[in-house]
Every structure is written in structure tokens, then in C-alpha cells.
Structure 1
Amino acid sequence: MDKGLKVLNKSPFQKLTAVASALALLSGCSYKNITGQEVKAEVLKQKTNEQKSQKGGEDSPKPNIVYIVLDDSGFSDIGSYGSEVKTPNLDWLAANGLRYNNSHVTPVCSPTRASLLTGRNPHDIGMSTVANFDMGPEYENKRGRIYPEAGTIAEVLSENSYNNYALGKWHLSPSHQVTPAGPYENWPLGKGFDRFYGFLEDSGDQYRPELIQDNSPVDVPKKENYHFSEDIVDRANQYVTDQASVNPEKPFFLYLSFGAQHQPVQVPKKYIDMYKGVYDKGWDKIREERFNKQKQLGIIPKDTKLPGLNPGVKPWDQLTNDEKKAFIRFQETYAGFLTHTDEQIGRFIDKLRSVGELENTMIVFLSDNGTSSMGKNTGSINHTLPYNDVPEKLEDVVKHIDDIGSERAGAESPTGWAQVSNTPFKFYKATTFEAGIHTPLIVYYPKVIKDKGAIRNQYVHVSDITPTVYDVLGIDIPKEIKGVKQMELQGQSFSDSLRSAKSSGKETQYFENNGQRAIYHDGWKALTLHKKGDPYEKDVWQLYHVAEDFSESNDLAAKYPEKVKEMQKLWEKEARKYGVFPMTDIAGEGFLTIPKDSIRARNTFTFYPGMSRLSESASPFIINRSYSITVPIERDSASDDGVLVALGGYESGYTLFIKNNKLVYEYNMGNAVYRIESKENVPVGKSAIRFEFRKSESNKGIGSLYINGQKVGEGEISKTHQYKIAFEGLDIGKDTLYPVSTDYQNKGIFEFSGEIEKVVYELN
């Protein structure tokens, strides 16, 4: 036996030979019956099993896969990427996993999410811009949906014995399909997920979101101090607990997509108070401190240059006291929001640990694009206004400074702080500069990653993440899903980099968003800063050697004109290959494009009492047109009152209601409220209530109230929304979530106590 035990330092072949010999002696058998060929086969089997174990293969438990996505959070926002913001749980993931410092996404959210979940480029699968914009069949690359030829990771893993859960923001169905009656094929359950809990559009209120569970709208839980980020993690933890308890042998894929850090920036006051005094020094100093910390951490090269302030951003010492006061509060709130989000991520990690699944889980963390400039130079306290290109006044911001972070403000930080989030880069989300597309990426998978806390420099694109997961799992995508032939993956696996810092990264990647273009190739990058309305052929191309100029500080286009031409040709080649054409440079106008197959293409709508809330994006399209709303009602007494129709909330919207026997219509622009009240009482018994809007000029007109065909009130509405009315949907017979009118803000949902026969919209 002594000989049989002394094998620890021998080769696998020698180990197996010695063990086989010892076993033969113990059993009384002759070792000569075990051939060298058989031993070699056993060694090969052992190596194969080890490889399967590393990839979560048949001979080891398949790993769980988790994607954690932040929204509109910049490259420098979390602690392990240079920030002063407290993010201990994300920093723990980084310390026990890998940080990628050269990872890229698309410039806006929906294309990034589509690319992430499918492993393909967004244009080729119908999602070249945000899902709010469905340009119709003439623009196959802008349908606001993922084509069935591009199966999601949930659909693929469903065929490999995984349960699939999605929580949080979706934003991958055409917004006009966000209705309580579907169609559902582009909702999460139609894309391979077994469960969904969250919201379907681009943003959601953190305190009173428009919630969907699976395929049904649900009420906000009646919970004290409710917050959406906490809610989705509660649900995620429930899903994990249920699976670990009942079906522990089955792996899961969980997509945890926070509304944070997208506007509205809302978080309990105690998190804002954590940062009192931190930002008093201003954005110039904070940006410089982050830049220096990034160098110390090795997140950016030592020779990186810090570009100057973006156009329109003033140096901190040139701001007024009121500006400084307001802007400090914005950043305290943003930082508190991120710390709160990190806390929820920590709760989820703790749940994985408590049920024994953390070590068998691969976690991928990223942000979907850089930080937004929608707050403009003043910051925003009403996020409907920037969506409609309506400037906000500093005095209004200062007046409501204590509301920032609360349910009374749809807040977003000013551009000076947005540039800080995107340190060390210039510009913002929606551009193809690095600030728009270069975000953090953390990968945690202890079964494979051995050099914990290391930084990887390989060029990575969001389309590469899911192919990497498939590679780790050792699975191929099916040739067909639900009878639809599948297109090839376009992303490139970077699984080798999980084990080795020396592996290569992606060589070429194109970018395009609403006319903004870029191409990366072998350490070089060319891009345009397209001006809306200009011919694309007149765009001026810039050139950066990003392998040596991390922050795009030195435009080399004039020095290397032939290189610019070469990169332009390469962009054109990649664009044609991946369905970028036809291009558009739409912005807010995308909200006005109504395809023929959309519910909003109708000119007549009939709604009945009891209908679930209908999203604003699928509601009757009244923007910049004449229309009428007719409501046959019956009142048993003069005390019957309440809301007949309401769309929106305190930020903006419109409402038609009866109070104190008077019929009232209010249109809340966000910075002005137009009110029309009837001169006559609403009669008891049956009556026909009618509101008419007659357009007089662009986004302007006359509103009139009628009772039984008689005009009882009239007024001018001198300004209406040009792109989007509100971020809260249409209610019939009540006003749920936030009240449109302060006139009934203390009356709850102010449900109409009489009877409504129906509500009829007629649009010209």
C-alpha cells in the first residue's frame, strides 16, 4: 500500500497506473489485465470531465446565470471603477471576479438590451433604437422588437433545462403594444421567460410604477416606504428561494434589470443624507478625483488625458450660489440612489449565498449606456419636460429643491454631473463617443475565474456576453426555435479571458444610433458627431487611436486622412452586413411615428368602465390634432362625483372630472395648467358629457365642454406636448397612481360614484 499512496506528485497517467496497481493487489487480481491504452482512456475521460466541470457540463451542476443591468450609469460611477459613491456589494463582485475596462454597449438602452439577450447586433434584429420608436415595415431595423429569428438567451436556455426569470425594466416591446390585452409575443413571457415582474417601457416611477406581473397589470404593493428596486429584489429572492427549495437540481437564468440610474432619480431621504457635504467641492474637483483614482486602480492607463468640460458645462467656480445649492442636491440624490441600488444587489447576493447557490452562479454586471444629458444644464425636476424639449427654469428647480429624490420630482442631474459619471470621457449617452458606449463590465464565476480582482483589457461588446455564456455552458444555439430558423450569433465569446489575461479581444465593431456613427477596428476608432437634418455624406469624421488614447483626446483625422477613408469604408461594409440601412436621425419625432399595425393608428376608441390602466404609449394619439371625448353617464344624486377620464399624473397629463356638481377639464403641461370649468351644473340622471379640442395652431387650440350637446365651458390651451404627454397611463372612471389635478389630490383615486356607460374618443 505504501507504493500505492505515494502518487501525489506524479502525472495523471502515473497516478492512475499506481492506483490501479494497488486496487489490483487489494482485490487479488492481476494488474496486467489493465492495459496502458485503458489507462490513457481513463486519463482522457478525467480531463474531459474536468473541462465539463469548468463549463458546467453534464458531470457537474449546471451553473446559474445572472445578468444585472443598471440604466444610464456611467463608466466611473461605482467604487471599483473610480467613484467616491459607496457600492460595497458591486465592489465585492469586482474583487472576487473580473473587471473589464474596455467593454462597450450601444448608445441607448433598448438596442443594448436586445444585443445582450440575443448575442447579435441590434440593427439586424429590429432594435436599432429605443423600443418607443416603431417606424413600420419600411424600416425593418426600427420595429422596437426582437425578431423571432434572434432567439433570446431565455429561449435557448429553456431548451437546456433552465428556468428563466426577468425582473425590472424590459423596454424590448413596441411601446404601442404595452396594453392589458397584448399582443404579448414581444413581452418577456413571449421571449422565453417563465416569470416576469417589472415595467415594460423606458422608465418607471420608483414609488408608484406601472407594474406588470407575467402578462397582467398589477397594483403597486401596499407596503410602507415602497421602492421599486427593493420590490424587484424581493421577487428575485422569492424566485431563487422557491427554486432552491422545490427544484434545486434545475439551474436558472435570472435577468435583474434596475430602473436605476435612469430618471426619475428617486430614493429615500436617508440615502441622500449619506452624501451631505460630499459634493460641496463641485464637479470639477470630483471629476479630477475620480480620474486620479481610476489611474491608481489601473482602470485607465496611466497616460490617459482628462478632456475639458463639455460644451455648455460651466466651471464650478463660475456658478451662482443657487446653482451650486441645487446641483449639489441633485448629485447627493444620484449617489444615494446608486448606493440604495447596490444595497439591493447585496441582498440578492446574500440570498444566493444563503441557499448555497452563489458559488455555482455566473454573474454578469453592466450598465446599458453612459449617463444621460437629458437634465440639460439646469437639471430636471419634471422628466416630461425634457422629453418634449421644454426648458426648465433654475428658479423652479430651486423652489422644489427639497422634492428632489421624492415622489414629487421626476429628477435628473444636470450635464455637469453627467460628465462626471462618464469620467474620463467627453459627451454623453446617445453619442458614439466613449461616454455613450463605454461602461463597466464585471464577471463573477468562481468555478472558472482564478485571478480574482484582476482587470481585463480586451475589447468587448455587449453582443459578446451571451455567446460567452453559451461557451461556458458548452451549448450550441438550436437551429430552430418555435419553428423559426435561427440566425447565426454575431457576438464573439470572450470566455478565454475568464482564465487568461493574454487572450485576444474583438477586432471590429460598428456603432450607429439615430445618425451617430462609429467604427472600432484593431485599436483605432472613427466616428461622427452628426447634426440632425444634415446630409450624412457631409458629416465630418474624427479619428482616434484609442489603443493609445483611452479618452479620445487627440483627433488624428487631419494627420491620417487615408486612415479615415479606410475606417469609413469599413463602417460602410459592417453597416451593410448588419442591417444599419436605412438610417434616420429622428429624436423626439420618433414618438410621432405611428405604424399602421399599431393600436394608435385608430381614429376611434371605445373604452368601458373597469378597463385596466392603458399605457400612455398605447393610448389615443391626441398629440397635435383635434379630438373629442364623449362620456355617457348617470348620476343618482348631486353628490355623485369623481374622475371620468385621466391620463398622467402630477408631472403632466389631462383629466376630465366632476366635482361640486361642475364638469372640469384640466390639461397639465408640466410647467402650466390649463383649466376649463362648466358654467352649468351637471344634471342628476342620464347625461352626455363631452370634451372637444379644436387645434388652432401647432400644439395649441381651444378646449370646450358640453353637457347634452350644450356648450357649458371653453378656454384656450396655448401649449400642448409635442412628443409625449406623460409617463403614466389612461384610467377610466378613476385616477390611479398619481393625481393629474391638485383639485382632488387628497381624494385618493377619486373614483366616479355614478355610472359610466363608456368613453368614446374620436380623433381627426
Structure 2
Amino acid sequence: MRHYKHLCIGIFLLFSCGIMNAQEKENGNWPDRKNLPIEPYQKLGKIAPTIKDSDPIEWPKEISAPQGAPNVLLIMIDDVGYGASSTFGGPVPTPVFDNLSKTGLTYNRFHTTAVCSSSRAALITGRNHHTAATGIIMEFSTPYPGYNSLVPRSVASIGKILTDNGYGTSWFGKNHNVPDWQTTPAGPFNLWPTGLGFEHFYGFLGADAHQFRPALMENTKPVDPYIVDGKVDKDYILDKDLANHTIKWIETQKAVSPNKPFFVYYTPGTAHAPHQAPKEWIAKYKGKFDYGFEKQRQMTFEKQKELGIIPKDAKLAPTPAEYQKWDALSPNMKKIVAREMEVYGAQLSYSDYQIGRVIQSIKDMGELDNTLIIYIMGDNGASAEDPTGHGLTSEIGIMVNGEVDTEEFMLKNLDEFGGPWMAEHYSQSWAHAMNTPYQWDKKIASHLGGSRTGMVISWPAKIKQTGQIRSQFTHITDIVPTILEAANLPIPETVDGFKQEPMAGTSLEYTFDNAKAPEKHTTQYFEIIGNRAIYKDGWIASTTPKILPWEGNHPASKDPMNDYKWELYNLNTDFSQTDNIAAKNPEKLKELQKVFVTEASKYEVFPLDDRYIERLNPENRPNFNKGRTEFVYHNGVSRITEGMAPNMKNTSYSLTASIEVKAGDEGMIMTQGGYFGGTALMLLKGKPTFTYAFSHYPNHKWTIQSPTALSAGKHTIVMNFDYSGGGAGKAAKVSLMVDGKEVAKGDIPKTVPKRFSSDETLDVGEDFGTPVTRDYEVPFTFQGKIGEVKVNLKS
């Protein structure tokens, strides 16, 4: 009885507290949107030991978005410069972007961080990229707080904030924000989109994706939508697939919860290399760019003035002398370079078309009026990552591994440009033309060619002064605060118990109804790979670039803090950053340099580091494989990214496969990389075969094959890769053994020194993406049984 009495008192006190808390919440303390997540609120009645003596009780009230909160469609295109789209005076028709500028507002002084991972981290968090530990792309991360690529829990994403506030949230397309060593299907997944608070993800991890053979993930599961019934769908293309999935997701959301607003982060890999597009879209541009870079730059400049995108008194910034000149190209090379731009134009306009399909679906559902659309045309300036001046047929092969394209090969394969067997990137000078009217390009954070891109915001229910231009200084960190103000949501103080870092950006709603509103984002630093600038009240101080945009391998500066010269511009009177007035205003320059140091100290920019490709080695980052010399894989293991695979470059190693086959069985045993650089151990028409691809050039593919097919039964195949040593990318000798007997041997004259691929992976029992050689087609599933495959690394 005594225990029962104490139990009743305990229940009474418990529910009395519950009632009091409920009453407090009813009095205005629920929901507390500044502290996330938000527990459901339940109004309690009387609770007695039996139902008959208890009062009815309401179901817990779960959090919902504020009344009238808009849907949000946040669009980010990749590697598109300020002067590429027709909306901003460029040569590529982007009618969807054009239309949104007419029904919304065009921002002609919008800024990114100048490189993709960093811009994307700032975009989804509202903090500066170093605060989000993303001072450089993920594959080049270093242990310092601003650069380690481990986004802190004190920096919650817009996906997390909106999910916890009752939105349905999703992410479609590129995710270049997962640490390099965490990108395999083994996780960890806390920094993948679903770990960052997004409810759904469909896209790819890393810098880029093959449009016809992408390595996609649905949430955390690998998917290969271009493979249908075991065969490659010849009509598949990524941009269309992303739009299809986005439309389906939105339709499902609204069918089930019509009053629940959605948030879609839509970020296709277009127009990052590889430049690829449907043939019929490429055909639309035939002959459109035969006049060359310099004329295009002048044409765009004039069009920008005509549209009012730039002021009438703006100047065209000079092209740095190091860039390729059109008249210096041979007649055949002009054909090749013009074709590259045709492909780029086709890819960008095709992606814009697919975005239009997404917007049309929202309109068809009657949701467009209350949908905030933020369309950012470029996560940085156009990419001039072409060391040749005439473009590349493989960015990984030429830019990273040092191969050289030949005019003969490029001309012979001109019709293949834009298709699955080329992964080209256009000329450095096309990139510069796409950044009109500014100087420099992607990676050059010190100058507007690297950081300034186009943006349009549309929200029919809210924005009434449509078709106008807004010229306040705006930055990518302003986007999250804008979304939160639009949704009538506060910036959270804590998320999952972690006190949040302050937002660095400012909501742009103040510009919606007032073209002349004084800008609120008055100070902003820029820094990527040692290139840096500081903006304050219309002035910008910028370092003079020491390293060209296409230089990956270069000597690091001994003292990047002091080795760089500085320039000074008054952007109030010099829109396009053309008149360096540092010599005339030394005191102003010193003042801004001090501001940079203050901002850099505040936001964890230090230590400055202008190294680039040399940071790429996976050994520079945490790696579960450090110290391992033996790796064991079983059939079905796939999507092991290069950073987490055994490092089989510049070393000797062996592969040992235990298999069981029937006579004539074939298929992939183990592969890494693909057509543009990779290796494959397989049975080809039953014959043990090892193929090595240094690049996509036919004379860069070497095959060592047994003269006879395997008999039925169990076998052990060993491939010995004997590296010659003496540096990176040297030759190797290969021997194939079957059941202890050598059956074939051969030489590999040169090997991949730095990276097989940026998107293709290590797979066992199947091959995904592109094949290493066109002697077989993916998925080339192994028809027998694989017991295990061992990789043994040797010194």
C-alpha cells in the first residue's frame, strides 16, 4: 500500500509538471524555434489508473512550418561564369533563367567563394566556408580547423534547420561536401546529406559526374540508373534523370501533405567537366562559336551594357597575357576549340531546360505563387583549368596526370566530343570569355572573375517589383538567412544541443521592394589557395595571382602571407575591377589589409596555404588503410572510392583471386577507375586478362591476356604488378599466373601517377561507370563465383 501511495504521488507530480509545461507552452513558449529539434507538444488532461476515470487526451502536436511559409527551390549550377548565360549577356540561351529574371529580381553583384566545395558549404550553412571547415575542396583538405572538411555540429545546414521546423527537405545532384575518406558505402554517414539533416538525397559525391554513366547514391545506397535489365540504357542522361527524380519527389510530398512546404536543393554537375550533352542539343550550336574567344568577350560586354546588367561606364577588364589567343591556333585547332564551346553551350542550355521542367511541375501543382526560387548560375567563375590553351579531352588525364592531347587525335574524334567516350573541358580562353567583363577565373578568389556569378530570385507572392536589377553587394552566405526570413523562422541558437556559430550572411529581403536600399553585407573576405581579397564598403583589396588557374603542380610559396603583391579597386566607380589604384592610395590599402587580417583571424582562414595538386595524395588525410598492406574483398563490394581503396599507384602489388567457373564464363573480377584511367582484372571470353588504361587514348591501353580460356572448376589467378620505381608514373611489368603457372606477361610503359578518376571506383564482380577498355560493356557481371580477391601492396 505504501508503495502504491508513493506511485500515485509520483504519477500526480509527473503529470502535474506535464500540465504545467503544457500550459507554459500554450502561453507562447512552444514551439521554441531557436532551439532545435522541437519536441512535440501535448496538452494533457486528467490521467487516472483507469480509462473510465481519465479525461480524453489530445494527440501530441508535431512541429509544422509557420503559417504561409513558402516552398523553396534552391538551384546551384556548376562552373558557370558571370557572362555565360543569356540572362547576363552571354552566348548560351538560358530561357528559364531569363524568365525568372523577368518575374523576379536579378542580382548583378552576387559573390561566391571561387571554388565549388567551399561555395557549397557556405551556401547550405550561411557561414563563411572556413567556419564550415571547407577552406578548400574536400580532396585537398588539411588538418587545420578551417580546412579539415569536417563540418562542425555548431554549423547546422539549412536542411537540418528546415526539417526540424516542419519542412520536407531534399537534395538532388552534386554533393562535394563529404570528406574524401568518408565517401564509401561503409560510411560514416553523418556528413552525407541525410546526416546533415536533409530527408532525401539523390545524386553523386565528388567534384563531377559522367553525364551518361554517373556514380549515383540514393540516400546512402549506390544506384546505377543507366543500367536497365543488365544493360546500359543508351538514352540515359544525368540532367534529365535529376529533374525526373525531383519532380517525382515534389509530387509525392504535395500528394501526401499538401500544406507542408518543401525545400529542394537542386544542384546538377553541369557545367563542370566533363562537358557532355545530347547530340541533338550539341547540333543546335554548330558553327555558333567559330569567331573565337576575343570576339565573344567583346560581344558579351556590349550585350551586358544593352541589358543593363553592367553600368554604361563599366570597362572590359583586360585578358591576362598568359591566356591563349584565337589567332595563335591552327585552322584545325580552331575547329576543335569551337566544338568544345558548342558542347559547353549545349550542356548548359539543356540543364536550364530540365530546371524548367521542375519549375513547370511546381506551377502545374498550383504551388508556384508561394515558391521562393533562388537560381544561382555558378558556384564560382568559369573554369580555366586547361593548361594547354586548346582544351582537354580528359581533365583527369591532362590536368592531373600530365598527359598531352594531340591535334590529330582531337580532330579525328571531333564527333565524339560531348559523348560518353570523351570527358573534355574547354579552352582556358573560353572560360575567360564566359567571365566577361572581369579578369581571372575559378580558383582566383582575389578577383571578380573567380567569385562573381549571376543570381535571380523569384517569389511571385512576395516580390512585386519584378524584372528589375539589384546591385547591392551580396554573398553566398546571404542565402540561408534569406530563406529563414522568408519562412518567418529565427536563426537557431542551438541544434541537437550544440551552440551554433553566428550566420555570416544577411537576408536579402530588404532588397525585394527597394532597389536603392543601402547594402547590409558591407564586409567580406575571400580566400582560396592563398589568393585572397577583402571587400569593405565598396572597396576591394586583392592579391595579385602568383599561380595561373590551370597550374596544378607548382612550387608552394615560402611565405604566402607576405609573398603576394596587393591591388586596390574602388568598386563604387569601377564596376568590373579594372583600375588598380593601390599606388595612389597606400593608406587605404593598408587599412583594408588590416581588415583582412582581422576577418581571417575571426573566421579561421589561417594558416594560408597555396599548395594545390600536392595536397591531393590520400595519405595526407585520415585513412583507415594507413599501414595496411593486405586487403581482402568479396563479390559485390563496390563504390570503394580512390581515397579509400588500396593505393596501387607508383608501387608494386599483386592481386590474387579465388574463383570457380564453368567453361566459357567471363566477367569482371576487380576493377578500379575506368575508361579515362584505370585497371581491370577479368575473364574476357574465358581468358584471364589484365588491362591497364593510362588514359582514353587507344595507345594508352595495354592488355596482358592468357592465350587460353579457363577450364571449368576452381582456379586461382594471380596478377603481379612489378613497378620499376624511380618516381611517379613510371613503367611496370605485369605477369599473369593461373594455378601457380605463368600464362602471360607484358610491359606497361607508363602508369597513372596521381589519380585514376575523380568519380569512378573500385568494384568486385561487376564494373560500373565506364569500362576500362571497349572490349567489354558494363556492368560485365562475373558469371562464375568469386571466393575472394586479395590485394597485397609491396614496397
Query: What TM-score, normalized to structure 2?
Result: 0.85
State the match for 1:384 in structure 2: 396
Aligned-pair distance for 1:466?
0.6
CA contact under 8 A between 1:652 and 1:740: conserved in structure 2?
yes
Task: Note the C-alpha offset of 1:281.
Answer: 2.1
Q: Which deviates more from structure 2 when the two are superposed, residues 252-261 or residues 681-690?
A: 681-690
Shift of 1:360: 0.4
1:232 maps to: 242
Cα distance, 1:707 vs. partner? Answer: 3.1
2:546 paired with 1:530 = yes
Residue type matched to 2:237 in 1? H
Aligned to 1:737: 769
Q: Deviations over 1:658-700 (max 9, x none)?
A: 2355432221011412333347765653332222333322122
Structure 2 equivalent of residue 762 of structure 1: 792
Distance in 2 between the 1:274 and 1:680 partners?
49
Partner of residue 214, structure 1: 219
Pick from 392, 397, 409 the counterpart of residue 396 of structure 1: 409
**Runs of 5+ consecutive residues of structure 1 not aligned to the other structure:** 1-56
Separation of aligned partners in 2, 1:302 and 1:539: 33
SS in 2 for 1:538: coil
Which of 178, 190, 197 pairs up with 2:195? 190
Are 1:543 and 2:568 counterparts? yes
CA contact (8 A) 1:448 1:499 kept: no
Query: Which stretch of structure 1 is more off in the superposition, 731-740 or 313-322?
Result: 313-322
- Say whether residues 1:707 and 2:738 are aligned partners: yes
Assess, with a 3 A threshold, how the Cα gap between structure 1 residues 262 and 58 changes in structure 2: closer, same or farther. Answer: closer
Which is worse superposed, 708-717 or 417-426?
708-717
In structure 1, what is the Cα distance between the partners aligned to 2:459 and 2:216? 32
Which one of the candidate residues 74, 78, 87 is aligned to 2:85? 78
1:343, 1:477 → 2: CA distance?
Answer: 34
Give the CA deviation at 1:711.
Answer: 4.2
For 1:339-350, what aligned pairs fall within 5 Å after superposition? 339-350=349-360
Say which SS state the counterpart of residue 627 (structure 1) adopts.
strand
Say whether the 8 Å CA contact 2:81–2:434 is kept in structure 1: yes
Q: Deviations over 1:682-726 (max 9, x none)?
A: 565333222233332212242332334444444333322222112
CA displacement at 1:498 relative to structure 2? 1.4
Partner of residue 409, structure 1: 422
Post-superposition offset of 1:382 = 1.6
Question: Which of 100, 125, 133 is residue 132 of structure 2 equivalent to?
Answer: 125
- Counterparts of 1:6-45 in structure 2, within 5 Å, are none
Distance 1:628 1:484, change over 3 A: farther
Greater alpha carbon shift after TM alignment, 729-738 vs 219-228:
219-228
Confirm whether residue 265 of structure 1 aligns to residue 280 of structure 2.
Answer: no
Answer whether contact 1:167 1:236 (CA < 8 A) is retained.
yes
* AA in 1 matched with 2:674: G
Answer whether contact 2:156 2:500 (CA < 8 A) is retained. Answer: yes
Aligned counterparts of 1:542 and 1:628: Cα–Cα separation in 2: 54
Q: How does 1:354-373 map to 2 (within 5 A)?
A: 354-366=364-376, 367-373=378-384
Q: Deviations over 1:510-550 (max 9, x none)?
A: 11111111111112212221344122112111222222222
Structure 2: how far apart are the matches of 1:169 and 1:533? 30
Q: What does the per-residue CA deviation read over 1:139-173, in whole Å, with 9 as the maximum and x for residues that have no partner?
A: 22222242221000111111211010100111110
**Fraction of identical pairs, as percent:** 36
Checking the alignment, whether the CA contact within 8 Å between 1:370 and 1:422 is kept in structure 2 is yes
* Root-mean-square deviation over aligned CA pairs: 2.0
**Cα distance in structure 1, aligned partners of 2:99 and 2:79:** 22
Q: Is the 8 A contact 2:318 2:578 kept in 1?
A: no
The structure where helix makes up a greater share of residues is: 1
**Is the CA contact 1:616–1:729 (under 8 Å) kept in the aligned structure 2?**
yes
For these two proteins, the number of residue pairs brought into alignment is: 703
Is the CA contact 1:652–1:668 (under 8 Å) kept in the aligned structure 2? yes
Tell me the amino acid that sits aligned with residue 468 of structure 1.
T
Query: Which residue pairs with 2:24 in the alignment?
Result: none
* SS of equivalent residue, structure 1 residue 606: strand
Structure-2 change in CA distance of 1:491 and 1:277 (3 Å): same
Question: Which stretch of structure 1 is more off in the superposition, 414-423 or 59-68?
Answer: 59-68
Q: Residue type of the partner of 2:677? A: S
1:677, 1:507 → 2: CA distance?
65
Q: Against the structure 1 CA distance between its residues 660 and 342, is the aligned structure 2 distance closer, same or farther, given a 3 Å change threshold?
A: closer
> Aligned ranges for residues 413-452 of structure 1 at < 5 Å?
413-432=426-445, 433-452=447-466
The alignment's TM-score, normalised by the length of structure 1, stands at 0.88
2:473 aligned residue: 459
Structure 1, residues 384-422: CA drift from partner, whole Å, max 9, x if none?
A: 212323332232221211111111111211112111110
- Distance in 2 (CA, whole Å) between partners of 1:342 and 1:455 is 21
Q: Which runs of 4+ in 1 moved over 6 A?
A: none
SS in 2 for 1:686: strand
SS of 2:194's equivalent? helix
Match of 2:727 in 1: 698
Tell me if structure 2 keeps the 8 A contact 1:116–1:462.
Answer: yes
Give the match for residue 536 of structure 2. Answer: 521
Q: Distance in 2 between matches of 1:724 and 1:219?
A: 23
Equivalent residue, structure 2, for 1:477? 491
Which one of 182, 187, 204 corresponds to residue 199 of structure 1? 204
Q: Which amino acid aligns with 2:596?
A: W
1:725 is aligned to 2:753: no
The alignment partner of 2:195 has SS state of: helix
| Stretch deviating more after TM superposition (653-662 or 323-332) | 653-662
Match of 1:132, SS state, is helix
2: CA distance between counterparts of 1:457 and 1:482?
A: 38
Structure 1 position 103 matched with structure 2 position 128: no
Distance 1:355 1:490 in 2: 35
